Amino acid sequence: MDTVPHADIEALENQLNTCEREAYALVSGLGAEQGIWRSRAGSWSVAECVDHLAAANRVYLRAMREPAARALDEGRWRRGPARPGLVGRWFVSTLEPPVKPVFRMKAPRLIQPGAAPALADAFAAFVASQDEVRAFLRAYAQIDLAGLRFPNPFLRGLSFSLATGLHVLTAHQRRHLWQAWNVRRAAEMAAA
């Protein structure tokens, strides 16, 4: 097996690292009360946005691991870059910020944030989940991520390529970090 990193895998890892740095900047200097502040009933706090990202990472990875491990056992090696196909690219684009009203949706129950999570706990869970995504990426960089499919954990009957799943995770992180920054700015304005 080739142990030289591939540019597409490095790009995905860089996106994960950028999102993690962004999350760190987001929570830095934010007090516990500001971390759980909501702009209105039914909206999410910064802590809830970050907790939601940790949950989404875990659920997606759970769905992706078995097909990836099986492919590794079967020697289904990479045939090209880990890029989503046409439908996958479209789906990923719907997650990118700024969020368009037509693409707003309620989070599936599996990845709804915990009830009033503490900011420090939510951030720690997010960082741990990022480590899991990076470990997955490294463990399976040599398989055919673009050609192997996994069942979407939220939409029955729909499957994505593993490459699409990885790109969904990074776009989803950018989406909710954007949302969380908006909440933080509103919390700071309310406190001022």
What confidence score (pLDDT) does residue 112 get? 84
Span 41-71, pLDDT tens digits: 889 999 999 999 999 999 999 999 999 999 9
- For residue 34, tell me if it sits in a domain: no
Rounded to whole angstroms, how far apart are CA atoms 182 and 185?
Answer: 5
Span 10-19, pLDDT tens digits: 999 999 999 9
- For residue 121, tell me if it sits in a domain: yes
Backbone angles phi, psi at 117, to 5 degrees: -70, 145
- For residue 57, tell me if it sits in a domain: yes
- For residue 87, tell me if it sits in a domain: yes
Rounded to whole angstroms, how far apart are CA atoms 86 and 76?
Answer: 22
Coil, strand or helix at 159: strand
Asked whether residue 2 carries a pLDDT value surpassing 90, the answer given is no
- For residue 183, tell me if it sits in a domain: yes
Determine the structural domain holding residue 136 and report its residue range.
43-191
Tokens 């990472």 belong to residue: 57
Enumerate residues 6+ apart whose C-beta is below 8 A from 62: 153
Asked whether residue 86 carries a pLDDT value surpassing 60, the answer given is yes
Asked whether residue 3 carries a pLDDT value surpassing 60, the answer given is no
Backbone angles phi, psi at 36, to 5 degrees: -105, 5
Burial bucket for residue 64 (CB in 10 Å: 0-12, 13-18, 19+): buried
Read off the pTM.
Answer: 0.93
- For residue 59, tell me if it sits in a domain: yes
- When divided into structural domains, the chain yields a total of 1
- For residue 182, tell me if it sits in a domain: yes
Token pair listed for 162: 């593993």
- For residue 16, tell me if it sits in a domain: no
Rounded to whole angstroms, how far apart are CA atoms 41 and 192?
Answer: 20
With bands split at pLDDT 50, 70 and 90, how would you rate the model's confidence at 149? Answer: very high
